[in-house]
Amino acid sequence: MLRPKEELITLLDARLVRIAINIKRQNEVIKYCHEKFKIEESILSDYIRGQKALVGAPPHILYILAAGLDLGKDILVNQFYTDAEKEMLGNESFEDVKIEFPLRFKMIKVADDSWIGPINVKDLHLLYKQQLINYNENTQRALKMAFYKGEGVYRIVVNRKAVEQIRESFHERRYIPNTITLNIPDDIENDFYYNEESCELVIRKLEMFDILDGYHRLLAMSQEMNENPDFEYPMELRITNYGVEKARQFIYQEDQKTKMRKVDSDTYNNYSLENRVVSKVNMDPNSDVQGMINVNGNIDQGLLGMLVNFFWFKGIPAADGRKIVLDVSQTLIQSFNLLAEYNNDYLVKRYTYKDILSVCYYARKIYDGEAVVGKQIYDLCQKLEVDTDVRIKTNKISKPIVNYLNRMVEEA
């Protein structure tokens, strides 16, 4: 593509809001795309009305929408697609493998209206592509109202960053399989039964499943499948047969799980670059703070990880970050050691956020080639402890806070 796909999705999202409100224009776009690309009108309608998210949409859907919104004038198409891509996406036949009933799922029965078993990402993706997985606004989490010229339309809320993080973990094959929940609504016509002998849930007739839990994971799977059609990965699938009230209660129940602070939950991601650095600092025998870093330790693991991410890894490609993990670890050890050797209290005391911030601030200076002594780190710790600036009290980090520290150090 000539420009990033994410830019195209942002532009399409904004324009589709206008089309969704303008029924006449919407019908023109759908008719053009149906006649030009032989695509089902119902598929386009779901994307235009925001009932399906563009994140995770197949490449040809994005192309067709880009072409259709301009009714063949190719304004968006020429901005984003090469001639080769236009030739391929504009002329290729998009006949997908059709799902045939009955659907058979190997499952164990949990209750009279609930079954669970294994499934492959490829099979879930196929169900999604075939319009057999629906985001039901009556049972799923709240939709967002988007406005254009005073009129509004409800659209699915998608956290693109979360989807991309999940997709990366699928791609790197480090995602731990967990449960996607699909519901057979009890208010639509369906025909299914559970075979006790073969341990199969057999669905002979179904309009579509409602997804109760796992929509972002489903989008991430679809993104990976769009880029790698041979991708296979095991997941867990729960199929339920709930009415609207029980489906909503299930979603409420899932949402009541005990929540951690984000800085604490981030510490459980063993693959993050900041956690690899923190682990090395905590385990290195040359580190004066060896063994002191933990979620509830003398040095808060979550806060340290957050600061390490900000000072070294934020905004850089993961591949570049992996190259500097060892250097960052050694620099951070040096900064902790300078402070602890200047004042031995830091060998045993519980570090405040301001102490950790001071260590990381000067570790970055050491990393950039500046000469630093322990007294400088200690003095900054002491100044921050009595500082009344509200930004320093928030246990957060930002560029304005770093600028504030720079001025404080320069004035010393």
Mean pLDDT by 10 residues, the chain (412 residues): 90 86 87 87 83 84 90 87 86 63 96 97 91 79 60 74 90 93 90 96 94 92 91 96 90 74 64 90 94 88 93 90 94 97 94 95 96 96 86 82 92 75
**Is the pTM of the predicted complex or chain greater than 0.75?**
no
Q: How many residues does the chain have?
A: 412
3-state secondary structure 160-221: HHHHHHHHHHHHCCCCCCCEEEEECCCCCCEEEEEECCCCEEEEEEECCEEEEECHHHHHHH
User: What is the predicted pLDDT for the residue at 365?
Assistant: 96
Q: What is the CA radius of gyration of the chain?
A: 27
Beta carbons of 107 and 199 less than 8 angstroms apart? yes
User: What is the predicted pLDDT for the residue at 134?
Assistant: 87
CB atoms within 10 A of CB 149: 7
Beta carbons of 64 and 34 less than 8 angstroms apart? no
